[in-house]
Amino acid sequence: MIKTKAKTAQKNRDGAAGLLYSNLSVNEKGHLAIAGYDAVELAGEFGTPLYVLDENRLRENCRLYTGGMRDFFWEGCAPLYASKALAFKGIYRAVGEEGLSVDVVSPGELYTALAAGFPAERIYFHGNNKTDEDIRYAVDSGVGCFVVDNAEELKALDRCAAAKGIKQKMLLRLTPGIDHHTFEAVNTGKVDSQFGTPIETGQALRFVGEALKAGSTELLGFHCHIGSQIFDWVPFRDAAEIMLKFIAAVKEKYGYEARVLNLGGGFGVRYVESDPEVDIRDNLRRLSGYIRARCAELGLRLPAVLMEPGRSIVADACVTLYTAGGVKTIEGYRSYVTVDGGMADNPRYALYRSKYTVLSAGRMNEESGFLCSLAGRCCETGDLVQENIVLPEPRRGDIIAVLTTGAYNFSMASNYNRLGRPPIVMLTPEGPKIAVRRETFEDLCARDM
């Protein structure tokens, strides 16, 4: 497969030519092109449903964070890739080559990272309910740093590290009590949360006291995470303010000053035209200036600031391609277009009512006037990918593209209705390559006895 010449000029990195991202264009055939590759041809070669991941876009996103933190922050500050957004061996290789460390939230993600050759010392192990087995596996694997969620985990980790005769590095996960008005299910920074230990109630200060008494763990500092889809720097500023004041309070009470401050997530991404464009570098510049000034005012040394972008590394690098099946109009109500995927490969609309941009990949130059809902193939009323979209009047066999599907699509995919999960094809400098193969019927029965 060769790249086709784009018909539409690309003006800037985002929002070019009426499409969400500059790696998307319309070629001379009137087809959607992804990094110059014809989406219809990709669907023909690899089948649908199909996740198409632009490796160059992914690497550019990594460099926005690595470059921004290098240019505006100080020694020790760095981004970690939050691999729960998208985890397979190829992604760990790519982000590792771009200089990012990673965080994992399960032993499965840890195993995948290690299987990809990712250095264990650059892995941070998250999770609000690590089992004793999880902890032993991570310690045995040489994980660089645990992010400890609660007092019970602290005790279990300290016991395990003592049994191994090591001093395990760790951060304590705290909740700063910030509600930044995102969807409830992705808001993780408020006081009433299953994640972390709250500052507001005084529990976090006691938690630090327990951590400092532990004999086989080394406290590096603190972690917080205020949620997802944050488009500007202000919520991170507010989180930094609370966390820096807490660091000062800990210093006063215990004489311990944190060396590391992990502010969690990254910035939001555009799913639809109405979403704002995000200037990641400028947000990082503003945030670094604020932290530098507040540390001086509070009499603190500058901690190594970490961030954990996941969605903003992979989301806009991926497009999911489907083949349209039936077109059904319920007179007086609405029309449905069904596709050969749905909630099994993208459950986010069913879970969160997440917005997406949907295109008819083979008919990009045709007038769009058909109002419909895009439905999946699962035997479930809630199996919708998007409602109230406008397409050229669909036909059976049309290739339908859903944009910005790199985050929490493959990673949340299931075998509901005994459907095999789609493959991931990476668009590399050498051409399209299968990074994760399509599941077969045999795969579905492989564990059955």
* Residue 211 CB burial class (10 angstroms; 0-12, 13-18, ≥19): buried
| Separation CA 159–CA 157 (nearest Å) | 5
How long is the chain?
449
Alpha-carbon torsion angle 176, 178, 184, 186, nearest 10? -60
Helices within 275-413 (DSSP H only)? 280-298, 311-314, 348-352
| Separation CA 380–CA 115 (nearest Å) | 36
| Separation CA 348–CA 87 (nearest Å) | 17
**Residue 200 contacts residue 250 (beta carbons within 8 Å):** no
| C-alpha closest to that of 170 among 147, 191, 199, 193 | 147
| C-alpha closest to that of 242 among 185, 196, 183, 278 | 196
Structure tokens at 54: 């632009």
Long-range CB contacts (within 8 A, 24+) of 363-366: 363/30, 363/392, 363/398, 364/26, 364/30, 364/31, 364/32, 365/26, 365/30, 366/30, 366/392
Residue written as token pair 């020694």 = 75
Structure tokens at 280: 């990641």
Which residues are catalytically annotated? 379
Where b means 16+ CB within 10 Å and e means fewer, 375-396 reads bbbbeeeebbbbeebebbbbee
In sequence order, what are the residues at sequence separation of 6 or more whose Cβ sits closer than 8 angstroms to the Cβ of residue 129?
149
321 by DSSP, 3-state: which?
A: strand
